[in-house]
Structure 1
Amino acid sequence: MAAVVLVHGLYHRPGHFALVAEPLRSAGIEVAVPELHRGSLSADTAAVQAVVDSLPEPAIVLGHSYGGSVITGLRGARHLVYLAAFAPDAGESAAGLGGATAQLQDAIDTEPDGWTSLHPGRAADVLYGDCSGARAAWAVGLLRAQAPGCGRGVPERHGWKHTPSTYVVCTRDRAVDPLLQRKLASRCTDVREWRTGHSPFVGRPDLVVGLLRELAAEPQPRLDGPVTNRS
C-alpha cells in the first residue's frame, strides 16, 4: 500500500487536509497528517520524521508553505512535494527567503507575547480567495494562533538534493509570491503550475489528490546518491 504524509503550514491544522486525505484513503492509500506547532522548525521536523519512520514503506511527503521547510529536513521519504512551499538551501530559512506578500503581512495580528494570528476577514481573501464562501469560512474557522520563531528555523538537511521532488507553483497565490515559488521550484526535479490560490487542498482538492495518486502509482525509485535537479 502506498503511503502519503501531509504536512500543513503556519496557522493551519491537520483538519485543513480533510478534503484530500479522505479521497486518498478511499483509494487505498495510507495517509498520515501530523500536527505541527511544536515551537521550532527542528521540533516540527522531528515530529514528522517520527511519522515517516513509523510507516511500513517510504512515503510521499507533501509540505505546504512553511511545511516545505519541515519536509526539507526529512530522511527516508520516497518523494517530496512542495505545494506553494519553501524549499530552503544551506543557511536559508523561510523568513530569510522572504516572499510573503503585503496582503499576507497585513492579515497578521501580533500579540504582546509575540504570538501571531490571522485576521479572519483578511485570511479568507489571502489564503482562500479562490474558494467558495462556505468552504473559505470552514477553513478560516480551523486556523490557530502561531508561536514565534518557526519561520526563522534553518533545516539541518536538504532532502530535495537527495530525494525526487515535485514543486507546485500556485500562480494566483496571494500569500507567497509566485516569483519566489518559481525560483524555489528550480531546485526540484519536476515542476507543475496550477492556476490556484495559496491553498488548493481547500479550493481544488481534486488537483492535489490527482497529483498524489499519480506519484503513488509510479515505481518506487532506488537512490544511491544525489538526484539530478533542475538547478
Structure 2
Amino acid sequence: MSNLTIVLVHGAFADAASFEPVTRGLLDLGHEVVVPAVPNRSLLGDSAYIRSVVEKIEGPVLLVGHSYGGAVITVAGAADNVVGLVYLSGYALEEGESLGQLQGGFPDSELAANLVYTPFPSPGAEDGTDVSVKVEAFPQVFAAGIDPAISEVLAVAQRPLAALAFSEAAPVAAWKTKPAFGIVSAADHTINPDVERFGYTRGNFRRVIELDAPHLVMRALPQDVIQFIVEAAAEVV
C-alpha cells in the first residue's frame, strides 16, 4: 500500500465508533487509518484540533468527513499534507459561510423539530448550549435503516454538538484547492439531501454518487462507502 493515511472524521451526535464497519474494512484492506475523537465544541476549535492530528501524520492524508465532519474537513483540509477530501452525507461549506447559513437556504429536515438544547458550564465565560437529538426520535431521524438494537445504543451514547458550531463561519474552503468527492444520502432525514447536492455541485467535486441510504450511510452501506473511499484514495495518491 502507499503511505497514504485515511483520517475518518465523525460528525455531531456521534463519535468515532460510528465509522466502525468502515474502519474495520479499511484496516482489513491494509490501509493506514486514524479515527480521532472530534470535540464537537466549535467549528473553528474542532477544525484546529483535527488539523493538529493531521499535521502530526507523516505522509499524505485523505480526509473523510461525515455530516458535521464535512464542515470540519472543509477547514482542517487546508493542512499541507491533505491530498483529498471525501464527504459522506456532509456539509461542504463555502469560505465565510456557517452551517446555519448553508442549511437556511433549504427546507428543514426532520432533525430540526427533534433537537434538545441543554446548557453546559463554561468556566470563566457564559454557559454554552449543547444540541442533541431526542432519544426517542434518534432511531428514525438519525439512525434510520440501522439495526434497532444498535440505534438504541447510539441514541443514549450520542456526542452533542455545541450550538456555537452552527454560527461560526468557515475561514477557508479546502475543496477549492484539494480534489473532493461526495456521497449524497438520498434517504437522509438528518440533513436535507439537497444541502449535500448543492455543496458538492458548488464545489465542482471530482466525483459524486447518490445512494439510497439514511444519514449514517457508513453503517447502512459500509461496503459502498469503503469502495468509494478506496477509489478516491487511488485517485489522489
TM-score w.r.t. length of structure 2: 0.86
Give the 5 Å matches for 1:176-191: 176-186=191-201, 187=203, 188-191=205-208
Q: Which residue in 1 is equivalent to 2:234?
A: 217
Residues 11 and 67 in structure 2, CA contact (< 8 A), matched pair in contact too: yes
Which one of 46, 49, 52 corresponds to residue 47 of structure 1? 49
Unaligned runs of 5+ in 1: 221-231
Question: Deviations 1:201-221 (Å, cap 9, x if unpaired)?
Answer: 12111111111122223352x
TM-score w.r.t. length of structure 1: 0.88
Residues 116 and 146 in structure 1, CA contact (< 8 A), matched pair in contact too: yes
Which one of 102, 108, 131 corresponds to residue 101 of structure 1? 108
1:139: Cα distance to partner?
2.8
1:116: Cα distance to partner?
2.2
Question: Deviations 1:114-138 (Å, cap 9, x if unpaired)?
Answer: 2222111201101111122223223
CA 219–185 in structure 1, closer or farther in 2 if over 3 Å, else same: closer
Counterpart secondary structure, 2:45: helix
Question: Deviations 1:25-67 (Å, cap 9, x if unpaired)?
Answer: 1211111111112522111111111121122211111111111
Say if 2:31 is the partner of 1:29.
yes
Say if 2:118 is the partner of 1:111.
yes
The worse-fitting range, judged by mean Cα deviation, of 93-102 and 195-204 is 93-102
How many residue pairs align between the two structures?
Answer: 220
1:100: Cα distance to partner?
7.1
Percent sequence identity over matched residues? 28
Residues 62 and 81 in structure 1, CA contact (< 8 A), matched pair in contact too: yes
Q: Which residue in 1 is equivalent to 2:183?
A: 168
Residues 9 and 64 in structure 1, CA contact (< 8 A), matched pair in contact too: yes
Counterpart secondary structure, 2:58: coil
Which one of 54, 71, 74 corresponds to residue 72 of structure 1? 74
The worse-fitting range, judged by mean Cα deviation, of 72-81 and 105-114 is 105-114
Which one of 75, 90, 102 corresponds to residue 95 of structure 2? 90
Residues 81 and 166 in structure 1, CA contact (< 8 A), matched pair in contact too: yes
**Which amino acid letter does the alignment assign opposite residue 163 of structure 2?**
P
Q: Which residue in 1 is equivalent to 2:123?
A: none
1:146: Cα distance to partner?
2.8
Structure 2 Cα separation of the partners of residues 181 and 63 of structure 1: 12
Q: Which residue in 2 is equivalent to 1:148?
A: 163
